[in-house]
Structure 1
Amino acid sequence: MSDVPFGFGVPDRDPERRDQSGSGPGNDPFGFGALFGGAGGGTPDELLAKMPLFAELQKLMTWSGGPVNWDLARQGAISSLAAGSQPSSDAERAAVADALRLADLWLDQVTELPSGVDRPLAWSRVEWVEQTLPAWSTLIDPLAERVVGAMTSALPAEAAAMAGPLAGIMGRMGGLMFGAQVGQALGRLSGEVLTSGEIGIPLAPAGAGVLLPQNVAEFAAGLDRPADEVRLFLALREAASQRLFVHVPWLRQQLHDAVHAYARGIHVDREAIERGINEAMGSMGGIDPTNPEGIQALLGSGLLEPEETPEQQAALRRLETLLALVEGWVDSVVAAAAGDRLPGHGALAETMRRRRASGGPAEQTFATLVGLELRPRRLRDAATVWGAMAQQHGNAERDRLWSHPDLLPTSDDLDEPLDFVARQGADDELRSLTADDAQEPGTQKPDTDGRDSGD
């Protein structure tokens, strides 16, 4: 699992841990340590050569675009990849396009949802960062805004009055902090993701089917399968994901709504904080706002950590269920499409399951974003639902469940997936009987649920 939070962690200020961890690119992506006299600062001429960074810092400090400084996030992510991102070649772009076209042909035979890919793309890691920033902004900004608002509202009146004149500067500093940490996280993810839909929420523009050839090649190098087979398997997954999100228009919004519902519940107990501060002041002989060690002790005490509410827990259950249903459907239709055509499908599918279980990009994203630990059992149960639906009722009935969010299995349904599938059979029989009765002249349509069945 990733240890890089999406802007919601406090930097490690322990000097011993800092000394042990060093000051590599991940800790100092822009070289500020060297610029301000740290190790390796260089000669005066070398320092003067870095002076444009002051102008860049001034630009970052005037950011007013929201709770996360996305300019800094972009720069930080790309800076960490400066020597590690390779542009896609013409041959790689052609191979990706061929794989996605073949994948769509195979998927046409196993799902009622039509193709969702109108342009195949082969992105480098840098392109992944730049092209997915709008999607990340939509997902992360509400969370960051609520975190800042919750912490500010929880300050005691005296502290709030002291912070008032500095509110603008504090907001910009918060944007810098969030931007730096989000950038670091995106830089790391860009070296791991294989497709644009791997985290469960599509990050590419609608209609774009995306593979990252550099990451795919590194992923394939550790497997005992031909590279073109691995590419086709991933193209099947990407094309399946695009079909779902393009032709189920409410799905993307439902996933975002679940994340934002969690964000709306972020708050801290001000009374508990005030009691804790009073106790801390009594035991510490008061807290001097000019004493950084005293303030850090307060911040590290846990008093300012938001409490998770029942509403947030419900939002997390909805999010986990939706992500499991998306992933399970993709697993199911890819298995049906690959069939005997792709000899290594079983081994590759097992590799993806292990990748998720050990903390792949999707698991990293939601663990750091909202603290959601995706449970492998949810994914297996969702795949069981989709597989059994296709086997017992056909592909059309399986895909019909995506026509409205109320038709999808709930978290409770996933506890007994085969019971859910069996109930769909009973509902099909009831609909058939209702239709037969309606066709008989002089018969009254039964009202099975208190509504006009002809609606």
Structure 2
Amino acid sequence: MIDWDVAARAGKRVVRAGPEVSLHEAKSAVAQLRESALAADAHVSAITKIAQPPHTAPTLVVDRAGWIDVNSESVGHLMAPLVDKLASANATSGVGKLVGSRVTGTEAGVVLGFLASRVLGQFDVFGPRGGQLLLVAPNIIDAERKLDVNPTDFRLWVCLHEVTHRLQFTAVDWIGQYMRTQIADLVDASDLDSDSLKQKIKEVAGELKDRKRSGDREPGLGIVSLAQSPQQRAIIERMTAVMSLLEGHAEYVMDAVGPSVVPSVAEIRRKFKRRRAGRSPIDRVFRKLLGLEAKMRQYAEGRKFIDGVVDEVGMDGFNRVWATPDNLPTMTELRDPALWVKRVQPLGITPGAS
């Protein structure tokens, strides 16, 4: 259904050029990012109170083309079960499949090209090679220049976020499998055929037009809203809750290090928050279509949850969330941390603990 080799080539054709840097600047940035990722391990463990486990997840400093290569392979691997199901439900001739996969591959490449110039870092957990921490050097350099912040501080700050994600998936051994199970359940619950898929895409496009006409600024779910039966909506809600938890946790760590570790952390956070809001009209439309504005809401809701729980029961109390999937917050609890604290109290949490 999608030729991911075509997607990678298309993405690299359309991706914008990175900032101009000298060879010396490029080598220096790569070396410093690797050092920052290594240094971030100890800082993340100190804040989260979770020891860094032995892991084989490497740190890769990549350019935009390299990010596209990794993600075209990773997304293709992740989507394979859904694509197989769609293919079996929409059997066409061999020629039709070949042409269709190239067309959709090109379209997927446009999306990859859009994202490749914006992503600062990522912990890729679903690729065929296992976990990899990616740091996109040209995007980090571009961001620090536009924000006019201290490069050394900013690079460590970004690494703190991504290393927190690596810790989540390597120290909490069931998180990755939990997400894979949710995705598998979502695939099993899908009943898409060609006509229903086209209809649902039209519905998403219509929703975007309606929101634009009405001035509605709520982000919506973009293409994530495709094919949502009641069963699928429940699965997506669970996935949204856990992703909000993971993103909020990483956001908390980024700022909790304080000026003793990142001297300009307050300035960076202030300017970075303004950067997230200051998108061009075209950029905002694209982000709505992809559901990326919903991801921004995940950062905010997840961070509010972490703040609320840690204020009430301390980091040790919050860390009960990693004990079992049953301890994950629901969307309702995510928006009201006190409900989560009340539910998990029988596990030994004492409100007001430090």
TM-score band (shorter)?
0.7 to 0.9
- Describe how 1:176-255 pairs up with structure 2 within 5 A: 176-197=102-123, 206=130, 208-255=132-179
> Which residue pairs with 1:18 in the alignment?
none
Q: Give the residue type in structure 2 aligned to 1:125.
A: R
- Describe how 1:311-390 pairs up with structure 2 within 5 A: 311-338=231-258, 340-353=260-273, 368=290, 374=294, 378-390=298-310
> Which residue pairs with 1:74 in the alignment?
8
1:86-131 deviations in Å (ceiling 9; x for gaps): 8884322211122112222222311233336864332111221223
5+ residue gaps, structure 2: 198-224
> Which residue pairs with 1:130 in the alignment?
69
Distance 1:325 1:237, change over 3 A: same
How much has 1:202 moved relative to structure 2? 6.5
Q: Which has the larger radius of gyration?
A: 1
Q: Distance in 2 between matches of 1:272 and 1:425?
A: 45
Q: Give the residue type in structure 2 aligned to 1:189.
A: L
5+ residue gaps, structure 1: 1-66, 154-165, 274-304, 431-455
Q: Percent identity?
A: 22
Q: Is the 8 A contact 2:327 2:344 kept in 1?
A: no
Q: Distance in 1 between matches of 2:13 and 2:80?
A: 22
Distance 1:342 1:266, change over 3 A: same
Distance 1:234 1:272, change over 3 A: closer
Q: Give the residue type in structure 2 aligned to 1:137.
A: G
The structure with the greater share of residues assigned to helix is 2
> Which residue pairs with 2:335 in the alignment?
415
Q: Give the residue type in structure 2 aligned to 1:172.
A: L
> Which residue pairs with 2:37 in the alignment?
100
SS, match of residue 93 in structure 2: helix
How much has 1:306 moved relative to structure 2? 7.1
1:194-238 deviations in Å (ceiling 9; x for gaps): 1123xx866695564332221111111111321111111101111
Could you say what the CA RMSD is over the residues aligned between the two structures, in angstroms?
A: 3.8
Q: Is the 8 A contact 1:324 1:382 kept in 2?
A: yes
TM-score (norm 2): 0.74
> Which residue pairs with 2:314 in the alignment?
394
Distance 1:85 1:202, change over 3 A: farther
Q: Give the residue type in structure 1 aligned to 2:79.
A: I
Q: Give the residue type in structure 2 aligned to 1:407.
A: N
TM-score (norm 1): 0.59
The number of residue pairs the alignment matches comes to: 315
Q: Is the 8 A contact 1:385 1:421 kept in 2?
A: no
Q: Is the 8 A contact 1:73 1:179 kept in 2?
A: yes
Distance 1:339 1:267, change over 3 A: same
